[in-house]
Structure 1
C-alpha cells in the first residue's frame, strides 16, 4: 500500500512541479542498493545538477526498487509519473530495440573499445533512439563484464558448460548465448538465485564481479571464470514528458551533469571490482582466466542470428566492430 500511495502522489504531478521558490524537482528511481557503484554515480549526477543550476534543479532519489522493478519504473517514465531512472540496457531493449545490440557476446574487443563506442557518435545515437518511446538516454554507466560462476565444477572451456543449468536474465540474447556455448540457459528471478544455487536448481550463473560478491553467491559458487562474454552497460534515462518541460539551459545542465557523473562512476566501478575480487579470493573462490577466443567462437551464431533477424541493425553492428 505504501508503494501505491507514493506512485499515486507521483502520478498526480509532484514529479514535474515547480515549487513556490522556483525549484524544480526531478524524481529518479532505480533498483540498486545505496552501496552500489552505480548509485554512487547517480549521487554525482545529483550534486552536479544542483551545482550547475544554482539549486533550481534538485534530484530526489528512490533507490532499492522503492517504486518498482526496472520495467515498472520505465513505464512510469513513459507516462510522466517519474522523471528519470537507471536501468540495464538488457531491460531497456524490451522498449527500445537498438539496445539489443549492446548485449551481443564479444561485440567489444576490450574496455577501451567499449567506451570509445558508447561515448562516441554510435553510443549517443542509440541513446537518442529511445526518444520516440518517451525514454531519452542521457549517458551510460559502467556495469562491467559478465562472466560465468559455478558451484559444482570449474568452467575452463565451453565444453565444460555441457549439461550445466546456467541462470540468465529473462532476455533472449542471454538465453541464446548460453545455449550456443553448450549450457542450458535457465531464466530465473535474481532474487531467487541464491536459494536456487544452494539447492542445486541451477548449477551456476553469470554476472559481473561486484554483483557476484554483493549477492553472496560467492559463498556457494567457488569457481569464477572470467570469460567476459558480454558487457551490457547501465543507462541513465529521463522521460521525454519531463525533458520537454525543461528550458534549453535546464536541458544543458541535465546533460552535462549526466556526462560528468558517467566519468566519476567509472572510478567507483573499478574500485568495487578490485574490492570484490579480493573478497572472493579470500573466501576461497578459484578465479579462472580462460582462453576467451574459444567462447567467442562458440557464440558467433548469436550475432549471425541477430543480424539475420534484424538486418536494419546490421549497419550499427558493423560500425561498432570497425570502430
Structure 2
C-alpha cells in the first residue's frame, strides 16, 4: 500500500470502514490471531511509533503471542484525519493522533490544546497523568473511540526561512503551516501571521516550494522530518505543549474479552514510560543536530505572545466543562 496516490488512498480508506478490521488485515498482511492494526503518520524510528511497537511486544509477551500489534507508520494509511475516521468506524484498531483532529469531534479535548496553557513539559505530563487527563480521554467514547494514553509532542515553537521571531510583530505576513484545526488557525492569525492548514506529510515539500514560509513544531520534528534543511530560524516561543493520543476503535474494544481490555490498557500505560524515555533522548539529539547546522536559534519573551491569546481562549472555551478543565490545568501549573 505504500506509495498509493492520495486520492486513491482516500477511496481505499473509505472502503476499509465498511469492511471492518478483520477484512482489512486479511488484505494488508498475514492474519494472526489477535493481531491489532495501528497507524501513525510519523516514520518508523519516531518515539510514538516505537512506543506502540513496544506496547505490541508487551501484549505478545503477556499472551504468548495471542495478542500483538501490526503498525503502519509513515502515513502509509493516510493522514491523521483519515486514520482517525477509519478507526472510529472500526476499520483500524488503533491510531496515534495529534489532538487537532480530535478537537473537531469533541470539545472537551480543546483545553489541553490552548496556546500557553502549559508552562513546561513537566506541567503537561502532570496534567495528562491526572484525573483531568482521564476525563478528557473518556470523552472520546461517544465518538467510537477509546482513549488509551497520552504521548508527548514536545514544546512547539516557530521555525521559518525569512526572519527570527522575537516579538509578535515579527510574524506579520509570514505564511505558517498549521494542522487542520480552527484553534491553530485562530492562534496564528491572532499573532499576525497567515495560517496555512496542510497535512503533516506535506510540510517539507511546501517549505521547499515556497508554499509556506515556515511552520511550528518541536525539536525532533524539525530534525526528523528534515524541515531544518529548508528554514533558517527557530524561535523558541514554546507556545504549545499539546499532547498526542493513542486511541482505539470502540468496535475493536468491544470485541475484546474483559481480561484482554485490561492488558491493552496496562500495555498502553507502560508504553508511555518508554515513549517519554525515547522522546527525551530524541530532543537532546535534535538539539545537537541543530547546534551544528546553519539554523539560528533564539529565545523569546513569551508574555507579548501570551497576551494575544486571551481572545482565542474566550472563543473556544465556552462550556462549563471546558472552563472547569482550564481552571484545573492552570492551577496544576502554579506553585
Q: TM-score, normalised by structure 1?
A: 0.91
Deviation at 1:12, TM superposition (A): 6.9
> CA separation of 1:113/1:214 partners in 2, compared to 1, >3 Å: closer, same or farther?
same
- Aligned with 1:321 (options 323, 326, 330): 330
SS of 2:216's equivalent?
Answer: strand
**Whole-Å Cα distance in 1 between the matches of residues 324 and 331 of structure 2?**
10
Retained in 1: the 8 A contact 2:108–2:321? Answer: no
> CA separation of 1:22/1:282 partners in 2, compared to 1, >3 Å: closer, same or farther?
closer
SS of 2:95's equivalent?
Answer: strand
Retained in 2: the 8 A contact 1:33–1:63? Answer: yes
- Which residue of structure 1 aligns with residue 238 of structure 2? 228
**Whole-Å Cα distance in 2 between the matches of residues 321 and 174 of structure 1?**
20
Deviation by residue 1:228-250 (Cα, 9 ceiling, x = unmatched): 10112111111111111212211
- Which residue of structure 2 aligns with residue 89 of structure 1? 99
Aligned length, in residue pairs = 319
Deviation at 1:14, TM superposition (A): 4.3
Retained in 1: the 8 A contact 2:128–2:150? Answer: yes
Is 1:124 paired with 2:134? yes
Retained in 1: the 8 A contact 2:21–2:92? Answer: no
**Whole-Å Cα distance in 2 between the matches of residues 80 and 163 of structure 1?**
42
**Whole-Å Cα distance in 2 between the matches of residues 199 and 272 of structure 1?**
28
**Whole-Å Cα distance in 1 between the matches of residues 257 and 199 of structure 2?**
40
Deviates more, 1:214-223 or 1:112-121: 214-223
**Whole-Å Cα distance in 2 between the matches of residues 194 and 66 of structure 1?**
17
Deviation by residue 1:257-305 (Cα, 9 ceiling, x = unmatched): 0000011100111111111121122112111111122221222221122
Retained in 2: the 8 A contact 1:16–1:24? Answer: no
Retained in 2: the 8 A contact 1:15–1:83? Answer: no
Deviates more, 1:157-166 or 1:194-203: 194-203
- Aligned with 1:254 (options 260, 264, 272): 264
Unaligned runs of 5+ in 1: none
- Which residue of structure 2 aligns with residue 25 of structure 1? 35
Deviation at 1:159, TM superposition (A): 1.8
- Which residue of structure 1 aligns with residue 75 of structure 2? 65
> CA separation of 1:249/1:278 partners in 2, compared to 1, >3 Å: closer, same or farther?
same
> CA separation of 1:72/1:189 partners in 2, compared to 1, >3 Å: closer, same or farther?
closer
Instruction: Please give the residue correspondences for 1:1-323 in structure 2 after superposition, counting only pairs within 5 Å.
Output: 4=12, 7=16, 11=20, 13-14=22-23, 23-307=33-317, 309-323=318-332
Unaligned runs of 5+ in 2: none
User: CA RMSD for the aligned pairs?
Assistant: 2.4
> CA separation of 1:106/1:12 partners in 2, compared to 1, >3 Å: closer, same or farther?
closer
> CA separation of 1:268/1:92 partners in 2, compared to 1, >3 Å: closer, same or farther?
same
Deviation by residue 1:202-238 (Cα, 9 ceiling, x = unmatched): 3221111111112222122111011110112111111
Deviation at 1:322, TM superposition (A): 1.5
**Whole-Å Cα distance in 2 between the matches of residues 14 and 188 of structure 1?**
31
Deviation at 1:256, TM superposition (A): 0.5
> CA separation of 1:198/1:132 partners in 2, compared to 1, >3 Å: closer, same or farther?
same
**Whole-Å Cα distance in 1 between the matches of residues 234 and 96 of structure 2?**
27
SS of 2:277's equivalent?
Answer: helix
